[in-house]
Amino acid sequence: MRAAAFTLISAAALASAQSKPAVIVVEKSLGNAYQNTTIEVSPTSDYSNPEVLNQVSSLYQIGPEFTYFCFAYNPAGEFYSDEYFGLGKPLHLSTNNVVVQAITCRVE
């Protein structure tokens, strides 16, 4: 009985850890400087706010404390890079800006 309850609780804890959003910094070039906007990308649904994604130079995952496997879609619906970006592994798209259609992040 106890063991079963414990199993349920740890399954719930694991599920909640895996559904935490990835914290992503969207960096935009202003020409002579850069501006950062921090967003959250859920592992269960893509992020596609054009106000934030219309001008992007780089993408960084800064949280939570484990890596996500994130990809940026270009307007043609393809990934900008076959390599994921994640914790400590930013995606540099351009020294200027490109349009990102959407960002998708998975836990594994």
Ligand X SMILES: *[C@@H]1O[C@H](CO)[C@@H](O)[C@H](O)[C@H]1NC(C)=O
Instruction: Enumerate binding residues for ligand X (CB under 6 A).
Output: 25, 27, 34, 36, 60, 62
- CB of residue 35 to ligand X, shortest distance in Å: 6
- CB of residue 76 to ligand X, shortest distance in Å: 27
- CB of residue 66 to ligand X, shortest distance in Å: 17
DSSP lists the bridge partners of residue 106 as 69
Nearer to ligand X, 78 or 83 (CB): 83
